[in-house]
Structure 1
Amino acid sequence: MFFLLVIITLTTILHWYVFQAVKTITYTFQSDWWRNVLQWAYWIIALGISAYLVIKTYQLMGKGEFASSAQSVSNVMLTLIVTQLVCVVFLLGEDIFRNFQAFGTFVFNGFRDFSFPSRTTWVSGVALVAAALPLFSFVYGIKYGKYNFQVHREVLYFEDLPDAFDGFTITQISDIHSGSLKDKNAVAKGVEKVLEQGSDLFVFTGDLVNHRADEIDPLKPIFSQIKAPYGQFSILGNHDYGDYVSWPSKEAKVENFQKIKEKHAELGFRLLLDENVIIEKEGQKLVLAGVENWGVGFKEKGDLQKAISGTNPNDFKILLSHDPSHWDAQVKNNSNPIHLTLSGHTHGMQFGIETSLVRWSPVQYRYPNWAGLAEEAGKYLYVNRGFGFHAFAGRVGIWPEITVIELRKGKEPKVNYALNRD
């Protein structure tokens, strides 16, 4: 009930504030009839959206899982709130300025000829136009962005990489969240991109499903196409344990978890459960280790020391660990060095800005390493932005990712900018 009150209060405040811009614009109309029609239309639409959110949220409460209908609620709520907040930023800025103006007038004139400054039409117009940008961005992200698969490539240099693995490539995907993926044709195109990379090794870094093992069944013929010369390996993510859904019994949850593990095998993935395997090439080797989920604030089940048992500090090691907070907490300073850790989990919050000048997502306030490459003392972490989506059924600015890592022997070459000027 508290959550419903929060929704009602928040949406009412935002509706009222945005209405100030609508009202200011309509006051420029010559016709009272049009002014009244547009103002009434605004409130009918705004209150209709609020009613939809309240009714749907009430219906979903107690279901015990985040179903597709709940994703629709998230889509509407996020689109509404972000769009209106952009408008409110402009209006709030003007209100602060108007209050300073009013204070200055009062100081110099007192109550004589005092009047509070009116809103300016142009600021209200700019606010409404600016709000259209996130509105259309969210509409695009919900309709198309969630399947806008992008390939990210990284070349990483290691002086102690075995010679045979110079040029070795790894394709990584993460966070499939199969229960959310409804467009099989779009998913198939994403998997085609995976296959097009022709990498030596394929890895999947957790969250195969949202909650239930059978979510992956409709997509098994698609994902089981993924093959690589040196194998396909996977780990579990926090969603794969069934912790976020109500089960009729403890036994039902255990049975679902067992089925989850079996699904990996049915896809042709070797599931690594706190263990490691040796990848051999031309008589040389690297170690691929995988842990169960370990994350700050989430399930801390993975056992890193068990996963790398039997290895020594001189072995070249790659670790699959779903949650990137594991790297900071246990991995990067481990006494048995791990060269590269591949993670996922964050999804880049499926919302943000990534350009050559600006890189921002709300998730960065929770995860310092939330997408892409991080390095410390020669140890690397790569955080995949996720293949699928969850909760919010869309992506805005943070697109679904297919990662290709190329391992190279030696030191990273330095770019001579003097020789690369136009």
Structure 2
Amino acid sequence: MFVCSKKTCFFIDMAKRLPLILLLFLAGDIYFYQAVTTLSQNPLLHWVYWLLDILLIIGIISITMIRRAGNNAQRLIATLMAVMLMDFIPKIFASPVLLAEDVMRIFRSFPPRNLYISEATLALAGIFFLIILFGLTRGKHFYRVRRETLFFPDLPAAFDGFTITQLSDIHAGSFSDAEGVQKGLDLVNAQKSDVILFTGDLVNNQATEMDRWIPAFSKLKAPMGKFSVLGNHDYGDYIKWETAEAKSANLARLKQIHGEIGFRLLLDETITLKKGEQSISLIGVENWGTGGFHQYGDLKKAAAGVPDDAFKILMSHDPSHWEGVTLDHHQHVHLTLSGHTHGMQFGIELFGFKWSPIKYVYKQWAGLYDNDGRFLYVNRGFGFLGLKGRIGMWPEVAVITLKRKKA
């Protein structure tokens, strides 16, 4: 849902993968069903178990038949995604307990299933169900501050200790809870960073989505300024407009809103941040992505006139721009800030380990990456889209501190 440049791609992709999706879904259900039958022989319970699955399968098939991703279709998709996660994921994560038991049963001539192991399987599934329920209800505003300290030998001395708070993927059209959003904004201001940098996707599709949130976002503060770029959703490419003029007017209004909330929008251009006689270059490009996304951005144009020896920070919404363009650029870009992936709003991050299905689509999808001293930070996003929540991939406020590396 986050990796296709057009809404219709979601349905096409779902249709192509439908047989595999249904096969995995049914295989997991049949296997987990063994724990249910071990604990209860009540036929009514068994009927309810399969009735829920049949209804869900009908829903999955139905959304692949939709060819227009209007508001009603998007709400249906979001609902089905939530139900699928609550139904399917707990079974998948709990089934290894049954698998381990089956391995042992092979060497014991397949005795009946152990009652306690089936209870443990259902208990584990219940735990995962509660985690997913939390993500769908509270996870969308369960903001986490993530900190990185980066060292550079050529960082101007005046900027030693310079702090950046990065936001990305606000998606104002998905918000409904003003108190929850304010909690995140208060967390941003509490960091007291030198600058706030926003790396695109202010809205889902239309500039009007931001109207009610302008007063709240305009209160974000940073002593050296707030700067932003556009993301793929900001151009209005994913809905049908009555006229080309209406689409252009929407983008023009969105650009105005960046100013109204106090952000200097960078459109393939560079500004200079100064401390005394020293400076760093902040470059902002329009959206550029691979995999069918529009490539509006022009790094060559944006960095024209920037001295080769300048310390450079680039804001570019899509992380694929880093390997696709930035690393091959003739100038050394020290730090690139991106977003876009949302970490798929679903994954696991524990004790340094991180995983999400989005890693099979994007090589750089969350957190910090380094290529010979040229860094990329991919923000997991402040808002949400499609799935009305976040599970494991919590909304993020990133704080990056730049330090001068001593010789």
**TM-score interval, normalised by the smaller of the two chains:** 0.7 to 0.9
8 A contact 1:352–1:397 mirrored in 2: yes
Distance 1:150 1:20, change over 3 A: closer
Q: Please state whether the residue corresponding to 2:325 is helix, strand or coil.
A: helix
- Aligned mates of 1:251, 1:186 — CA distance in 2: 35
TM-score under structure 2 length normalisation: 0.86
- Does the alignment pair 1:240 with 2:240? no
Select which of 320, 325, 338 maps to 1:325. 320
Distance 1:203 1:43, change over 3 A: same
Q: Where does residue 416 of structure 1 map in the other structure?
A: none
8 A contact 2:379–2:396 mirrored in 1: yes
Q: Which amino acid aligns with 1:18?
A: D
1:102-154 CA deviation, whole Å, 9 max, x = no partner?
9xx9xxxxxxxxxxx57624554444333333322110101111111111111
- Aligned mates of 1:222, 1:24 — CA distance in 2: 50
- Aligned mates of 1:8, 1:146 — CA distance in 2: 31
Select which of 73, 79, 89 maps to 1:72. 79
Q: Where does residue 111 of structure 1 map in the other structure?
A: none
- Aligned mates of 1:11, 1:81 — CA distance in 2: 11
Q: Please state whether the residue corresponding to 1:142 is helix, strand or coil.
A: helix
- Aligned mates of 2:64, 2:350 — CA distance in 1: 39
Select which of 154, 159, 184 maps to 1:160. 154
Distance 1:23 1:318, change over 3 A: closer
- Aligned mates of 1:350, 1:24 — CA distance in 2: 30
TM-score under structure 1 length normalisation: 0.84
Q: Where does residue 51 of structure 2 map in the other structure?
A: 44
Distance 1:171 1:11, change over 3 A: same
Q: Where does residue 8 of structure 2 map in the other structure?
A: none
Distance 1:243 1:357, change over 3 A: same
1:295-316 CA deviation, whole Å, 9 max, x = no partner?
1112211100111111121111
Q: Which amino acid aligns with 1:194?
A: V
Q: Where does residue 120 of structure 1 map in the other structure?
A: 113
- Aligned mates of 1:319, 1:166 — CA distance in 2: 18
Q: Which amino acid aligns with 2:354?
A: R
Q: Which amino acid aligns with 1:256?
A: N
Distance 1:50 1:344, change over 3 A: same
- Aligned mates of 2:20, 2:98 — CA distance in 1: 19
- Aligned mates of 2:315, 2:35 — CA distance in 1: 56
Q: Percent identity over the alignment? A: 43
- Aligned mates of 2:111, 2:18 — CA distance in 1: 30
Q: Please state whether the residue corresponding to 1:332 is helix, strand or coil.
A: helix
Q: Please state whether the residue corresponding to 1:245 is helix, strand or coil.
A: coil
Q: Where does residue 185 of structure 1 map in the other structure?
A: 179
Q: Please state whether the residue corresponding to 1:154 is helix, strand or coil.
A: strand
Moved more, 385-394 or 4-13: 4-13
8 A contact 1:169–1:201 mirrored in 2: yes
Residue 185 of structure 1: CA displacement?
0.6
8 A contact 2:289–2:318 mirrored in 1: yes
Residue 292 of structure 1: CA displacement?
0.4
Corresponding residue pairs, total: 393
8 A contact 1:175–1:344 mirrored in 2: yes
Q: Where does residue 108 of structure 1 map in the other structure?
A: none
**Unmatched 5+ stretches in structure 1:** 106-116, 413-422
Q: Which amino acid aligns with 2:403?
A: R
1:222-273 CA deviation, whole Å, 9 max, x = no partner?
1111121111100011111112222223332222222221221121111100
Moved more, 151-160 or 35-44: 35-44
Distance 1:49 1:200, change over 3 A: same
Moved more, 38-47 or 194-203: 38-47
Select which of 153, 176, 194 maps to 1:200. 194
- Aligned mates of 2:352, 2:193 — CA distance in 1: 31
Q: Where does residue 208 of structure 2 map in the other structure?
A: 214
- Does the alignment pair 1:174 with 2:168? yes
Q: Where does residue 133 of structure 2 map in the other structure?
A: 139
8 A contact 1:18–1:87 mirrored in 2: no
Q: Where does residue 68 of structure 2 map in the other structure?
A: 62
Distance 1:28 1:315, change over 3 A: closer
Select which of 340, 345, 359 maps to 1:345. 340
Q: Please state whether the residue corresponding to 2:380 is helix, strand or coil.
A: coil
Residue 293 of structure 1: CA displacement?
0.6
**Unmatched 5+ stretches in structure 2:** 1-10
Q: Where does residue 109 of structure 1 map in the other structure?
A: none
Q: Please state whether the residue corresponding to 2:42 is helix, strand or coil.
A: helix
8 A contact 2:28–2:88 mirrored in 1: no
- Aligned mates of 2:330, 2:315 — CA distance in 1: 18
Q: Which amino acid aligns with 1:62?
A: R
